[in-house]
Chains A and B, each alone.
With several copies, the nearest count.
Chain A
Amino acid sequence: MIESVHKSVLQESPTTPAGLLDGMSIALEARDIVLDYGSDRALNGVHLQVPSARVTALVGPSGCGKSSLLRCFNRLNDEIPDCRVRGVVQVQGRDVHGDDVALPELRRRVGMVFQRPNPFPLSVYENVAFGLRLSGLRKRRLLDERVETALRAAALWDEVRDRLERSALSLSAGQQQRLVMARALAVEPEILLMDEPASMLDPISTLKFEELVVSLAQRYSVLLVTHNMQQAARVADFTAFMHSGRVLEFDATDAMFTNPRLRQTEDYITGKLR
């Protein structure tokens, strides 16, 4: 998927064990991000590298700035009044705040899935075709093809093939969330950001959705915010722990959940109070 391996110039931060990401290409990188909402500081010097073709989970207590960080990568923070971001954000080695960056193109490449399933009130088909139409695709045959591919990739094709023209809102919550995923996949992003995508789903839909996320990690770089520690443990290859606006620890998920390096991480994972 991503051929060029962008070696980060960032010197190994103390949050990450030495050599952990050696030889991996880096899909997303945040360097010293400071983010303010008006006068409230939400992020306070975040460093993070997200490797390509892996699932990276972002965990941490409520309000520690996970969603804010996520929105930095596709500059969705631009849509929030009073929100100011400083620092370097790179997507596959290119600065997203560069002058020559076109937001629509950036956001096409960095797909996003939200907490609450948000299908457009259109048909299933039109939902998936939405982004394609935006980018100027008109031919019905091509559209059909791409829609099917995306729905298959989102493990939804079999469930909706007979009702592509039905309203997307008639799907169950779990299906809706997978539809939203298909919609994001249709425009062929390289990176997927997910903000607590399964927190509104019931346990069985959650498991199915996690299954989907894992299967996607073969082709896409996934950055997944979750409140649910177990979920991070189940799906992520790497886990980053955030606390009060900083990434405190970044490690392979196995290591994080059996032997975290920081006291704070340990406390959060094992449910202790400081």
Chain B
Amino acid sequence: MPADLHATADFPLSIRRDAILRGRLRRERWVARAVAAAAALVLLAVIGMPAFLVLNAAGSIDNLSTLLPLLVGSLRASMYALLFGFPLAVLAAIWCARFASARLRALIKPLLEVFEAVPSVVLGLVAALSLAPWLAHHVVTVLLFLILAPLLLAFCGAMSERYPSVARRLARSHWQLCAATLALLATAFLCNGLAGMLGNSIASAFWEPATPWNALLIGLVLGVAIVPTVFSIAEDALFGVPASLADGAHALGATRWQTIWRLLLPAASPGLLAALLLGFGRALGETMIVLMASGNTPVLDLGLASGLRTIAANLALEAPIAIPGSAQYRLLLLSAIALFSLCLIVNAMAEMVRGWLRRRYARL
């Protein structure tokens, strides 16, 4: 084979005479420069952004107090969204990662992830035009459902384990999903009926929404909006826990839920926390839904029944018409900086805690 090998054997490692080799080494240097230049540009943009905002916002600003309701509005909307969306998403992630069969998982996971891509303006549209009028008449139904559904499902689950034949049938994940969905629908009808029976009298006692665009609506829709984000990250984290750990627990006699509860959730906790914080960040920054469905009323009220206005929505509403350099413009910039900082803090916290947990559960 190596006839030409002998030819170069005198200069085993030298580059001097090889034009091809010299060309390769030259190309190598140019590529390195190009790549570094791109990185520098990005760094410039990243650092330039906050700096530019701060520079532009500099100047005297009077009515700072108008920012407070906006800030509260932002936090309120995000809280309600998390309250509804996070448990829903994490439970769904648990099922998908640990109970669903491989085929079902391959179907459901992309489906729910596509959900993430639904533009928020579409959700805003639905919230504003369809959900708001409907919710105005069905508050009791919704609240009842939120309370009853988990209870009823848990009860069904506990009962089903009493009857081995049922349990065995339901061990197949698609039957499980069907059964739970049917139970949900049944609960929905039940709640509707119940609400119809006692709805108006009770509701009017404590629920008098001034507007169909209220915090409950925002909480629900924003909650749904963050479900895919949270689900996707949480599912990845849960599924990423090596199968060997679950095997180990099963081999010790743990049931699936014990395995999940004692082992997988702690092991996936960095991912879950990241999911929580990213969901929170997404909710904070969400503009269109709030813009279209919140009524945009800057009130300082923490209840479910009142409307709200968030920083993001305020920016979208006022920035296009604000005159550059005016006080209003600077106030807008200031609110943007506030929102920016809030998001950064949340993100930095997420990174920190994540890093810490990851070190703790390192080498999985």
Is there direct touching of A and B in the complex, by C-beta distance under 8 Å? Answer: yes
Binding site for B on A (CB under 8 A): 1-4, 74, 76, 79, 81, 91-94, 96, 98-109, 111-112, 114, 116, 118-122, 130-131, 133-136, 146, 149-150, 153, 167, 169, 180, 183-184, 187-188, 190
CB pair B247–A76 under 8 Å, yes or no, is yes
Known: A91-B13, A94-B12, A184-B251. 7 other contacts (CB 8 A): A79-B247, A100-B14, A111-B251, A134-B258, A150-B1, A167-B362, A169-B363
Name the one of A94, A131, A149, A180 contacting B253, with C-beta atoms under 8 angstroms: A131
User: For residue B359, which residue of chain A has the nearest CB?
Assistant: A167
- In the assembled complex, the CB of A84 is this many whole angstroms from the nearest CB of chain B, namely 13
Beta-carbon contact of B244 and A104 below 8 Å: no
Within 8 Å by CB of A104, from B1, B102, B253, lies B253
Which residues from chain A contact B75 at a C-beta distance below 8 Å? none
Contacting residues, chain A, for B202 (C-beta < 8 A): none
Q: Are A102 and B14 in contact (CB under 8 A)?
A: yes
Residues B252 and A130 in contact, CB atoms below 8 Å apart: yes
Interface residues of B in 242-274 (CB under 8 A from A): 242, 244-255, 258, 262-263, 266-267
Compute how far the CA of A134 lies from the CA of B25 in the bound complex, rounded to whole angstroms: 12
Tell me which residues across on chain B come within 8 A of A4, comparing CB atoms.
Answer: 9
Q: Does B43 contact A (CB under 8 A)?
A: no
List A contacts of B303 (CB < 8 A): none
The residues of B with any CB-CB pair to A shorter than 8 Å are 1-2, 4-6, 9, 12-16, 18, 20-21, 24-25, 101-102, 164, 242, 244-255, 258, 262-263, 266-267, 360-364
B-side contacts of A103, CB under 8 Å: 253, 255
The residue among A104, A116, A180 with the most chain B CB atoms within 10 A of its own CB is A104
Residues from chain A with a CB closer than 8 A to the CB of B262 are 130, 133-134
Question: Are B5 and A135 in contact, CB atoms less than 8 angstroms apart?
Answer: no
Task: List, sorted by A's number, 22 A–B pairs whose CB atoms are closer than 8 Å.
Answer: A1-B5, A2-B9, A76-B250, A100-B15, A102-B15, A104-B21, A104-B25, A104-B253, A104-B254, A104-B255, A107-B252, A109-B12, A112-B247, A114-B251, A118-B242, A119-B248, A121-B267, A131-B253, A169-B361, A180-B248, A183-B248, A183-B252
Partner of A1 from the list B2, B14, B25 (CB cut-off 8 Å) is: B2
- What 4 A-B pairs have minimum CB-CB distances, sorted nearest first? A104-B253, A102-B15, A112-B251, A118-B244
Whole-angstrom CA separation of A93 from B251 in the bound complex: 20
Q: How far does the Cβ of B6 sit from chain A's closest Cβ, in whole Å?
A: 7
Q: How far is the CB of A163 from chain B (nearest CB, A)?
A: 15
CA distance A23 to B247 in the complex (A): 35
What separation, in Å, do the CA atoms of A101 and B247 have in the docked complex? 19
Judging by beta carbons under 8 Å apart, are A167 and B21 in contact?
A: no
Chain A nearest Cβ from B241, distance in angstroms: 9
Task: Output the least CB separation between B113 and chain A (Å).
Answer: 22
- The number of inter-chain residue pairs (CB within 8 angstroms) is 129
**Which residue of B21, B242, B245, B258 contacts A105 across the interface (Cβ within 8 Å)?**
B21
B25: which A residues are within 8 A, CB to CB? 102, 104
A100 in complex: contacting residue of B9, B13, B24, B263, CB < 8 Å: B13
Q: Which of B20, B248, B267 has the most CB of A within 10 A?
A: B248
Contact B251 A100 (CB under 8 A): no
CA–CA, A134 and B262, complex, Å: 9
**A108: B residues at CB distance < 8 A:** 252-253
Contact of B9 among A3, A104, A131 (CB under 8 A): A3
Output the nearest chain B residue to A183 by Cβ-Cβ distance.
Answer: B252
A residues near B248, Cβ cutoff 8 Å: 114, 118-120, 180, 183
CB closest residue in chain A, given B13: A101
- B24 contact set on A, CB distance < 8 A: 104, 134
